Amino acid sequence: MIKGVVFRGIDYKCAMIYFNNGEWQKSLKAFESIVAIDKNDASIYEMMSKCYSRLNNTDKYFEYLRLAINSYESGGEYEKVNQLRAKLK
């Protein structure tokens, strides 16, 4: 499991560098590799929704926003759930 944690950390750093540089497709690829390891990380789904928003892909934006909401809700993070649900309106 240590190996997965290390790769996840590297992928997250790369994803955020790509995101901050406006390289949305590369950022998505890095986030996808994290989701392959951990399907329960709401913050990754949230970041993926932001990438899709910047790419003007509204269908995928809402899809990943809903995944983030469901994941935050499962984790009991209701304040975050309410913040994201406001974006659905």
Q: Which domain CATH number covers 45?
A: 1.25.40.10
pLDDT by residue (tens digit) across 2-29?
344 445 778 899 999 999 999 999 999 9
- What are the φ and ψ backbone dihedral angles of 59, each rounded to 5 degrees? -60, -50
Query: So what's the pLDDT on residue 37?
Result: 85
The CA–CA distances, whole Å, from 35 to 24, 25, 26, 88 equal: 16, 15, 14, 23
Place of tokens 């590799």: 33
What is the mean predicted confidence (pLDDT) over 52-57?
Answer: 98
Query: So what's the pLDDT on residue 2?
Result: 39
Domain that holds residue 10: 2-88
Q: Is the pLDDT of residue 55 over 80?
A: yes
The total of structural domains in the chain comes to: 1
Residue 69 falls in which region: left (phi positive, over 0), alpha (psi -120 to 50) or beta: alpha
Is 77 in a helix, a strand, or coil? coil
Q: Is the pLDDT of residue 81 over 60?
A: yes
